[in-house]
A and B are shown apart, each in its own frame.
Chain A
Amino acid sequence: MAYSEKVLDHYENPRNVGSFDKDDKGVGTGMVGAPACGDVMRLQIKVNDAGVIEDAVFKTYGCGSAIASSSLLTEWVKGKTLDEAKAIKNQDIADELALPPVKVHCSVLAEDAIKSAIADYQSKK
């Protein structure tokens, strides 16, 4: 299956790959997995006192679409408030990357990962 140019770009030059200390109180860690394809995604956000996401990193083991979805998402959430980040929908990611229907679940994974990261950050408060 042919990947879109945007997917290839994120896949070949993933943005913000890395990790933060998950025990840091200002860090929220989201971990999600898709058993059917064996994909695992870790997405971490660093939130300042004003509730704004200052930085975001990810590590994804999965197909190109899963990597591109998480890479794009880390770019999008930087500078956003938690509420703004929570409002990002998987369809926005799928549209931006022109994901084919069989790969839309990769964008679902990314949406779930940011929600899980925000929930983790808030549970530490």
Chain B
Amino acid sequence: MSDLFSKNYFEIFNLPASFDVDINLLTSVYRNLQKEVHPDRFVSSGERQSRMAVQMASLINQAFDTLKSPVSRAHYLLKLAGMDIDHEQDTSMDMSFLMEQIELREQIESVRSHSDPLSEVDRLLKQVKEQMKTVMQSFAAAYQQKSFDNAHELSRKMQFLNKNIQELDDVAVAIEDELLD
């Protein structure tokens, strides 16, 4: 188990380093690993062992959280491919994508003046999720083909779309709350 610290996140779960991850499999391996390093099992093993178990549990959690979400999984894959994207200052992007983003934000902003705000939010959510699906598929393909610059651009689009989904979810919750009042 202690060789965990020299493994990358995919290796920890015995998965191939690919964007397509079987989340059910990931989750079940995660649960098994957490059982193996559970502090209760190290109560009588001495301080060094139990401290190590705590560190392993924390690493496993971090690895799981990173691989679970598509956005952070894509980010991590790019890092494995040697791309330095932690401190990116590059603000240039596909212009038509940014135009779409402005348009979408305008639509989200004016959702409340719509005759049926909730169904408008649902419509936009569906549209963004559809776009996210397409971008994710393209990312998986680009990464597999080692077209990392392309994959990087797609991962940045995923970040934007992810934000859009969060924002739309928040708006939906806020509208529902108001309807209940």
Contact = CB atoms under 8 A, between A and B. Distances in A.
Given A108-B91, A112-B91, A112-B92, A35 B160 contact: yes
A40, A42, A59, A109: residue with the most chain B Cβ atoms closer than 10 Å: A40
A117 to B, nearest CB: 12
User: Which size bracket describes the interface of A in this complex?
Assistant: 10 to 19
B89 interface: yes
Given A32-B93, A33-B91, A116-B92, A59 B163 contact: no
A6 to B, nearest CB: 22
Interface string B136-175: 0000000000000000000111011001100000000000
Nearest to B71: A35
Interface in B24-64: none
A36 B93 CA distance: 13
Contacts of B102: 31, 40, 42, 59, 61
Contacts of B179: none
Nearest to A37: B163
Contact of A61 (B91, B92, B101, B156): B101
Contacts of B159: 35-36, 38
Contacts of B105: 40, 61
Contact of A33 (B98, B155, B164): B98
B180 interface: no
Interface in A32-75: 32-36, 38, 40, 42, 59, 61
Contacts, number: 49
A109 B98 CA distance: 13
B1 interface: no
A73 B163 CA distance: 26
Interface string A20-39: 00000000000111111010
A113 B92 CA distance: 9
A33 B163 contact: no
A33 B101 contact: yes
30 contacts: A31-B95, A31-B99, A31-B102, A32-B91, A32-B92, A32-B93, A32-B98, A33-B93, A33-B101, A33-B156, A34-B91, A35-B88, A35-B157, A35-B160, A36-B88, A38-B160, A38-B164, A40-B101, A40-B102, A40-B105, A40-B160, A42-B98, A59-B102, A61-B101, A61-B102, A61-B105, A108-B91, A109-B91, A113-B91, A116-B92
Given A35-B88, A35-B155, A40-B98, 6 more contacts: A31-B102, A33-B93, A33-B98, A38-B163, A42-B98, A61-B101
